[in-house]
Amino acid sequence: MNTPNPLTSRKSGPLEGTIKVPGDKSISHRALMLGAITVGETIISGLLEGEDVLATAEAMRSLGAEVCKGSDGLWHIYGTGIGGLKEPKEALDMGNSGTGVRLLMGLVAGHAITTKFTGDGSLSGRPMNRIIKPLEMMGATFETSDGGTLPLTVIGNEDTMPLEYRLPVASAQVKSAILLAGLSAPGRTTVIEERPTRDHTERMLRHFGLGVDVQDMKDGSQAISIIGQQELEPCAVDVPGDPSSAAFPAVAALLNKGSELRLCGICVNERRMGLYVTLQEMGADISYEHERIVAGEPVADIIVRGTGTLKGIDVPPERVPSMIDEFPALAMVAACAEGTTKMTGLGELRVKESDRLLMVTEGLKACGISLEMGEDSLTINSNGRHPIGGATIKTALDHRIAMAFLALGTATDEPITIDDATPIKTSFPNFEELMEDLGAEINQSTKKN
C-alpha cells in the first residue's frame, strides 16, 4: 500500500505561462488498444504516461501485442490483428482505470480466451453490469464478484454475434465496449444513444481505416454502426492534450485575477468541451487559437485570462455527458462566482473513482461554502468572494477531487490541504511541478509559509 502524500495549496496571486498538459487519457487508451489489434506498426506520440494508461499498455503486452517506448520517446506497437489476442497468463491489473477495464472487456469478449481483470480498491467498487449485459448478448460469459464488480473474469467467444443495442444510460464506455467487441463479429453492430457521448472510439476507428456509420434517428437519437471482421490499418497517432487535465490549471487561472495562461495543443472535441462552454457562460475569458485536426480530433490552444468577474448559472442537464469528469473543477469556480450555480443530472458522478458528488459537497462545506446536495444535483451559493479555505480535504483516492481542491487553494484566504496526492499520477504525473512553474504554491503539507 502506498504511503499517503498530503499536499497543501496556498494563495498564489496571478498565474502566468504557456504549458502543455499530458496527453488525453481517453484517446491514449484507445490508441494502445487499436494499435494492438492491427497488423504492422503503430507509432504513438504524446501518449499520457500516467498510471492508468501504463496499466493498459501492460495489459496489451499480456494479450500478445508488442508495446514499447523507443529511445525516440515515441511508443511503438506491433499488433496481433483482429481476433489475434492471446490468453494472458495472469490477471490483468488495471489499477484505477475504469476506462481501461471497461473497454478491454469489450475487446477480449470477441476472442476465444479467458481473461481475469483486477484493480485497486476504488476500481473494485465500481459497477460493471452495464458493460456485462450487452457483451453477454454478444456471446461472452462472465464470472464476477458480488454486485458485478472486480475481480471478474471474461470468457470470450470467437463466434461473437453482432448486436443492435440502445444504451439505457448515456455512456461512452458502454458504447465503446460494444463497438470493440463488434470488431470480431460478422456483420453490423449498432449502438443507439439518446444523448451524444464522447466519440473518441468512432474517430479513432476511422483513423485506423475502419468505416463508421452514424445515422440520426427520427426520435432524436443517434445510431453508430460498424461492420466487423475487417483488419485495421496501422498508423501514426499524435495524442492531443487532455481537456479534463487542462481544466485544473485553467480553473486556478480563472480564480486568480490578472492570470494569463496558454494551454497548448488541447483536444477541443465538442463532446468534451462542456466545462469550457459553461465557464464562458459564467463570464470567463476563454478563447481558442491555432485550431487544427490531429489524428481525427479537433485541437487548439486554449487561452485563459483571470478577470475576477464570474457569475452563477444553471447548468443544462443535457450538457452533463460533455463535462462529466469536470464537475469537480466547475464546483470550485461556482464556489467563487457571484450568485447561485445549480447543477442537475449528476447521478453518474456517484459511480466514478469516488462518489464525486459527495466528496465535492463535503470538501466545499469544510471550506465554508453554502450549498445543497440532492440525489443527483448540487446547488452552490456564493457571494462572489473567495472561500476561507483552511481545511484538509478527503480525496477518497480520486485524482480529480485532489486536483480540484488544490486549484481552489491557490485563491483561498487560508491554505487547503488534500489528504493524499498519490492518485494524481494516474492522469497528470507532473501536476505539482507544472502548477509551481505557473506561480502556484503547492507543496508538501509539512512546509511552512
**Catalytic residue annotation:** 325
Distance CA(106)–CA(84), nearest Å, equals 14
φ, ψ at 291 (rounded to 5°): -75, 135
Distance CA(423)–CA(390), nearest Å, equals 22
Q: Which three cell numbers stand for residue 303?
A: 487561452
Could you tell me the sign of the dihedral formed by the alpha carbons of 180, 182, 186, 191, in that order? negative
φ, ψ at 364 (rounded to 5°): -70, -35
Helix (H, G, I), strand (E, B) or coil at 439: coil
Task: Count other Cβ atoms within 10 Å, centred on residue 346.
Answer: 21
Residues making up the chain, counted from first to last: 449
Distance CA(367)–CA(335), nearest Å, equals 10
Query: Cell 457571494 sits at which residue?
Result: 383
Are the beta carbons of 69 and 114 closer than 8 angstroms?
no
Cis peptide before 317 (omega within 30 of 0): no
Q: Which three cell numbers stand for residue 113?
A: 480466451
